[in-house]
């Protein structure tokens, strides 16, 4: 449903009515806890309305089933009795209508009995994930249970009155409103709707011919599905385009409450709830072997995965590309690229292929130098030509963070025009956002419909720097983001002198400090016999040093002490001779060592001759530093730096203008001081 589209009036009415029930909780519950009571009650009422017509038949049939029947067979029989592909049943003879006629003092016990008689897939939602029995007890203890329950009996949520699509609208509206009054959890479990719609629009752009007609099936997956907003809006967009399309939704979520809301949403909107799994996607893939047409996600940013790194690293090393993390693993402080690799592993290998839309912060774009896990993952994705586009989003879009975010779009069936290319769109500027009338946590901005349409158009039309669009959409070759990191060395040049200052440095050397006091004194005395002459050649000084130390017949000097002496008595000197190794080769100076990033496709020798040796003629490249994969000089790295490609130089103001402004300020300050003095 587009942002500008109006929900049916009766859905808005029901939403307002349910919202009003939350007022009963005021005083006994915090505002941030309202959703923990109201959302489970909405699900319970919806299921009650769905199951009531077949309730008697299900209860009677359940009583005839023998106790030795396994749960799977029992479920299949009772699901069949419910019909309409509904994957839930309840064996309690209670309904909301019959509970209303019971003694109010028994309502708490009766509701617990009612909930415990659901099929296992729903019972788990209420008891283990929503922890609904705890909320019922709090309601009962505060005297609010009966008023809340009685109000819910007044709502008709039967599918004949509220369709699955309308129920999705209702549930989405309630989730949004509860998230907005609970900023402490909003950002964790709720992605702004306009962001989701942008991702969905980008994912489905140019897919018209693939989605048209009858018999079309599309499977959608979110590995960090939260409350299910991305899944629901993707289905909505697909069905708006083609009402006959069959959309199957899959997801996995680690947070119990978010999982409960998402699975409940699948139940109340007629989806298979078993396709929403609970658990850690990175360590326990609940959809192993499955492949999906569309995948989208907003995984947690900068979340530490250290506590479960062992199974992930084991999978990466043991299975390689036969597993999910063959390209590498990022640093344990941020798992975003793990989620992206996981999604790539679930791309379809057929003619249709798969498309991925994922929101991440800036870290996956450039964190990690050549050879690091992050760089190797970027390298793998770009060399496989999976990355189609990256969109820089405005800041302050999310509820719990104001940082810059980026939408990555991946496609393993790129059209020919996009082969070997990546489109970068900078949609962070003012033309793509508007300020909100009221901030919600860190969310101060939103993307209006017109801006969303403009971003999608730039992407769909594959715009590359046309007229006024040149500053926001650019096309690059995948190799444009790659480089070779070569190690540039410069010769070590030292002078040597036995001066008081340098002898003091020697006394601070660790290896020298470990000697006895008498040994230290003897060494210092021997060194002073050399005098204070300045030596600019290390070999010459070492001969003089060896002669001086030969007088120390009773002291055995190990290599660490000799090294400490040379280090303390030396200083870097550009006028000194170059230090050489035993083969006569120049010895590199570690302090002058540098790394140069040579663009892929350019010969490093030509780069060195143009960018380095004109300024430091004695520099050379350490050719022993080679890439682990292709064996060539220099390690290959990849990074995508938006600032580099979209930076616009703003010249400083003229000095005359600044001087004039300073004079005006000085005059204003003088005037104010004069008024104070008077």
Per DSSP, the residues of 303-324 read ---GGGHHHHHHHHHHHGGGSS
Q: What is the CATH number of the domain that holds 42?
A: 1.20.1260
CA dist., res. 331 & res. 541, Å (int): 47
Q: What is the reported pLDDT for 6?
A: 47
Query: Is the model's pLDDT at 61 over the cut of 60?
Result: yes
CA distance 92 to 59: 7
Query: Cα separation of 10 and 254, whole Å?
Result: 34
414 shares its domain with 530: no
Q: In 10 A of CB 294, how many CB atoms? A: 25
Domain count for the chain, please give it: 3
Closest by Cα among 167, 357, 185 to 256: 185
Portion of the chain with pLDDT greater than 90, in percent: 62
DSSP count for the chain of H helices, then E strands:
28, 17
Tokens, residue 110: 């009766």
Token pair listed for 117: 């008689």
Q: How far is CA 474 from its chain centroid?
A: 24
Q: Is residue 599 in some structural domain?
A: no
For residue 534, CA distances in Å to 4, 165, 540 come to: 82, 88, 11
Specify burial of residue 88 (Cβ count, 10 A radius: 0-12, 13-18, 19+). buried
Query: Does the pLDDT value for residue 173 go beyond 50?
Result: yes
Above 50 in pLDDT, residue 185?
no
CB atoms within 10 A of CB 611: 12
Q: Render pLDDT for 340-373 as a digit per residue (tens, 0 to 9).
A: 999 999 999 998 899 999 999 999 999 999 999 9
Compare 3 and 197 and report the one with higher pLDDT.
Answer: 197
Average pLDDT over residues 178-198: 68
Overall average pLDDT of the 246-263 stretch: 90
What digits encode the pLDDT tens for the residues 286-339? 999 999 999 999 998 877 899 999 999 999 999 999 999 999 999 999 999 999
Residues 6+ away with beta carbon under 8 Å from 569: 496, 497, 498, 502, 503, 505, 506, 527, 541
Range of the domain at 101: 1-181
Q: DSSP assignment, residue 633?
A: B
Helix (H) or strand (E) holding 506: helix 500-507
User: Quick one: which of 608, 610, 630, 634 has its CA closest to 619?
Assistant: 608
Domain shared by 308 and 377, yes or no: yes
Confirm if 415 and 401 have CB atoms less than 8 A apart: no
Does the pLDDT at position 189 exceed 70?
no
Phi, psi of 405 (to 5 degrees): -125, 160
Q: Answer yes or no: are the C-beta atoms of 411 and 388 closer than 8 Å.
A: yes
Average pLDDT over residues 41-51: 91
- Claim to verify: residue 191 and residue 168 sit in the same structural domain: no
CATH number of the domain encompassing residue 352: 3.40.50.150
What mean pLDDT is predicted for residues 41-50?
91
CB contact burial 581-608 (16+ within 10 A = b; e otherwise) = eeeeebebbeebeeebbbebeeebeebb
Is residue 73 exposed (0-12), middle (13-18) or buried (19+ Cβ within 10 Å)?
Answer: exposed
Please measure the distance between the N-terminal and C-terminal CA atoms of the chain and give it in whole angstroms.
Answer: 67
Mark which of 512, 537, 572 sits at the end of a domain.
572
Nearest to 178 by CA among 284, 21, 352, 28: 21
- Mean pLDDT for 257-261 is 84
User: Are residues 9 and 56 both part of a single domain?
Assistant: yes
Does the pLDDT value for residue 186 go beyond 50?
A: no
Q: Give the separation between CA 296 and CA 77, rounded to whole angstroms.
A: 35
The residue ranking higher by pLDDT, 551 or 412, is 412
Q: Are residues 108 and 84 in the same domain?
A: yes
Which residues make beta-bridge pairs with 246?
217
Q: Which residue(s) pair with 634 in the sheet? A: 626
244 with 257, same domain: the answer is yes
Within a domain: residue 228? Answer: yes
Task: Count CB atoms within 10 A of the CB of residue 441.
Answer: 19
CA 78/CA 63 separation, integer angstroms: 11
User: Of 137, 174, 141, nearest to 45 (Cα)?
Assistant: 174
The pLDDT assigned to 190 comes to 65
Q: Which of 572, 587, 612 is the last residue of a domain?
A: 572
**Integer CA distances (angstroms), 616 to 36, 278, 574, 592, 633, in order:** 67, 60, 12, 11, 20
Residue 121 has what pLDDT? 86
% of the chain at pLDDT higher than 70: 96
CA-to-CA distance for 459 and 203, rounded, in angstroms?
10
The overall average pLDDT reported for the chain is: 89
**Phi/psi at 384 (nearest 5 deg)?**
-85, 0
**Separation of alpha carbons 295 and 160, rounded Å:** 32
DSSP state letter for 127: I
The partner residues of 485 in beta bridges, in order of sequence, read: 597, 635
Residues 154 and 235 in one domain: no
Position 214 in a domain: yes
The pLDDT of residue 623? 95
pLDDT score, position 71: 87
23 with 144, same domain: the answer is yes
Provide the pLDDT confidence category of residue 2 given band limits of 50, 70 and 90.
very low
Higher pLDDT among residues 553 and 73, named by residue = 73
Judging by beta carbons within 10 Å of its beta carbon (0-12, 13-18, 19+), is residue 270 exposed, middle or buried? middle
Is 454 inside any structural domain? yes
- Residue 665 inside a domain? The answer is no
C-alpha R_g of the chain:
35
pLDDT mean over 268-277: 85
Are 259 and 169 found together in one domain?
no
More confident position, 208 or 429: 429
Regarding whether 194 and 218 lie in a shared domain, the answer is yes
Residue 431 falls inside a structural domain? yes
| Distance in angstroms (rounded) separating the CA atoms of residues 45 and 72 | 25
| SS3 at position 525 | helix
151 with 232, same domain: the answer is no
Residue 7's pLDDT is: 55
The model's pLDDT over 562-610, given as tens digits with 9 standing for 90+, comes to 999 999 999 999 999 999 998 999 999 999 999 999 999 899 999 999 9
Query: Are 162 and 195 members of one domain?
Result: no
pLDDT at 27: 87
Question: Which among 448, 326, 318 has a CA at the least distance from the CA of 383?
Answer: 326
For the chain, give percent helix, strand, coil, nearest 5: 50, 15, 35
- String of DSSP letters for 36-99: HHHHHHHHHHHHHHHHGGGHHHHHHHHHHS-TTS-HHHHHHHHHHHH-TT----B--S--HHHH
Q: Report how far residue 32's alpha carbon sits from residue 35's, in angstroms, rounded to the nearest whole number.
A: 7
Ranges 50-54, 207-211, 306-310: which has the least confidence:
207-211
pLDDT at 182: 61
DSSP string, 320-332: GGGSS-TT----T
Q: What is the mean pLDDT of residues 245-257?
A: 92
Domain finish residue from 550, 572, 594: 572
Task: Check pLDDT > 60 for residue 672.
Answer: yes
Q: In the prediction, which pLDDT does 466 show?
A: 57
On whether the CB atoms of residues 61 and 83 are closer than 8 A, the answer is: no
pLDDT at residue 268 above 80?
Answer: no
Record the pTM.
0.83
- Range list of H helices, 143-255: 145-153, 164-180, 183-189, 193-204, 208-211, 229-241
Instruction: Please state the rounded mean pLDDT for residues 463-483.
Output: 83
Residue with more model confidence, 14 or 360: 360
**Residue 240 forms part of a structural domain:** yes
Question: Are 544 and 530 spatial neighbours (Cβ–Cβ below 8 Å)?
Answer: yes
For residue 603, tell me if it sits in a domain: no
pLDDT score of 184 more than 80: no
- By the 8 A CB rule, do 488 and 608 touch? yes
Q: Token match 């203890």: residue?
A: 141
Provide the pairing of β-strand 387-392 with 421-426: parallel
From the CB of residue 656, how many other CB atoms can be counted at a distance below 10 Å? 8
**Helix residue spans in 335-433 (DSSP H):** 336-344, 363-366, 373-383
């Amino acid at each position: 449903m587009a942002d500008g589209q109006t929900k049916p009036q009766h859905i808005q009415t029901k939403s307002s009515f349910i919202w009003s029930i939350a007022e009963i909780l005021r005083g006994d519950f915090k505002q941030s806890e309202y959703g923990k009571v109201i959302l489970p009650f909405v699900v319970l009422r919806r299921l009650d309305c769905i199951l009531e017509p077949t309730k008697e038949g299900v209860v009677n049939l359940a009583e005839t089933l023998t106790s030795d029947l396994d749960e799977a067979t029992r479920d299949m029989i009772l699901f069949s009795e419910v019909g309409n592909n509904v994957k839930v049943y309840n064996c309690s003879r209670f309904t909301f209508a019959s509970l209303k006629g019971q003694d109010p003092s028994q309502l708490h016990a009766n509701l617990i009995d009612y909930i415990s008689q659901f099929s296992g897939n729903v019972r788990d939602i209420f008891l283990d994930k929503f922890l609904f029995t705890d909320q019922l007890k709090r309601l009962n203890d505060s005297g609010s249970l009966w008023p809340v329950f009685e109000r819910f009996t007044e709502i008709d949520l039967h599918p004949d009155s509220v369709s699955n699509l309308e129920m999705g609208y209702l549930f989405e509206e309630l989730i949004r409103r509860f998230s907005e009054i609970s900023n402490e959890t909003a950002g964790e479990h709720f992605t702004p709707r306009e962001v989701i719609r942008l991702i969905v629009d980008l994912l489905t752009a140019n897919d018209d011919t693939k989605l048209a007609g009858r018999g079309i099936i599309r499977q959608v997956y979110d590995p960090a599905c939260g409350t299910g907003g991305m899944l629901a809006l993707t289905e909505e967009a697909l069905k708006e385009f083609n009402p006959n399309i069959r959309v199957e939704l899959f997801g996995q979520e680690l947070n119990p409450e978010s999982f409960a809301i998402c699975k409940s949403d699948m139940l109340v909107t007629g989806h298979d709830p078993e396709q929403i799994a609970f658990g850690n996607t990175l360590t326990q893939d609940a959809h192993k072997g499955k492949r999906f047409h569309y995948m989208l996600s907003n995984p947690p940013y900068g979340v530490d995965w250290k506590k479960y790194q062992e199974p992930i690293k084991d999978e990466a090393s043991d299975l390689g590309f036969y597993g999910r993390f063959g390209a590498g693993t990022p640093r344990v402080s941020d798992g975003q690229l793990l989620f992206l690799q996981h999604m790539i592993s679930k791309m379809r290998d057929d003619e249709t292929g798969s498309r991925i839309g994922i929101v991440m912060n800036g870290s996956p774009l450039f964190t990690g130098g050549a050879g690091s896990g992050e760089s190797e993952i970027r390298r793998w994705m770009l060399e496989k030509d999976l990355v189609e586009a990256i969109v820089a989003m405005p800041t302050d879009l999310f509820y719990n963070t104001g940082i810059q975010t980026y939408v990555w779009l991946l496609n393993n069936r790129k059209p020919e025009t996009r082969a070997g290319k990546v489109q970068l769109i900078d949609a962070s500027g003012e033309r793509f956002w508007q300020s909100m009338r009221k901030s919600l946590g860190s969310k101060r901005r939103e993307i209006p419909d017109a801006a969303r349409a403009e971003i999608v158009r730039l992407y769909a039309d594959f715009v590359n720097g046309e007229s006024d669009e040149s500053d926001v959409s650019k096309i690059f070759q995948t190799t444009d983001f790659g480089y070779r990191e070569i190690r540039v060395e410069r010769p070590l040049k030292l002078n040597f002198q036995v001066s008081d200052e340098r002898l003091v440095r020697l006394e601070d050397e660790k290896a020298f400090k470990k000697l006895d006091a008498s040994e230290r004194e003897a060494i210092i005395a021997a060194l002073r016999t050399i005098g204070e002459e300045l030596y600019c050649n290390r070999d010459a000084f070492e001969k003089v040093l060896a002669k001086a130390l030969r007088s120390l017949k009773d002291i055995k000097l190990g290599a660490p002490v000799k090294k400490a002496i040379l280090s303390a008595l030396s200083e870097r000197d550009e006028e000194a001779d170059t230090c050489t190794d035993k083969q006569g080769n120049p010895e590199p100076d570690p302090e002058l060592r540098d790394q140069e990033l040579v663009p892929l496709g350019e010969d490093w020798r030509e780069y060195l001759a143009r960018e380095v040796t004109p300024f430091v003629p004695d520099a050379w490249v350490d050719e022993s530093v080679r890439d682990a994969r292709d064996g060539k000089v220099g390690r290959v790295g990849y990074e995508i730096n938006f600032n580099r490609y979209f930076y616009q130089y703003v010249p400083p103001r003229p000095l005359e203008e600044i001087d004039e402004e300073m004079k005006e300020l000085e005059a204003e300050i003088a005037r104010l001081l004069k008024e104070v003095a008077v």
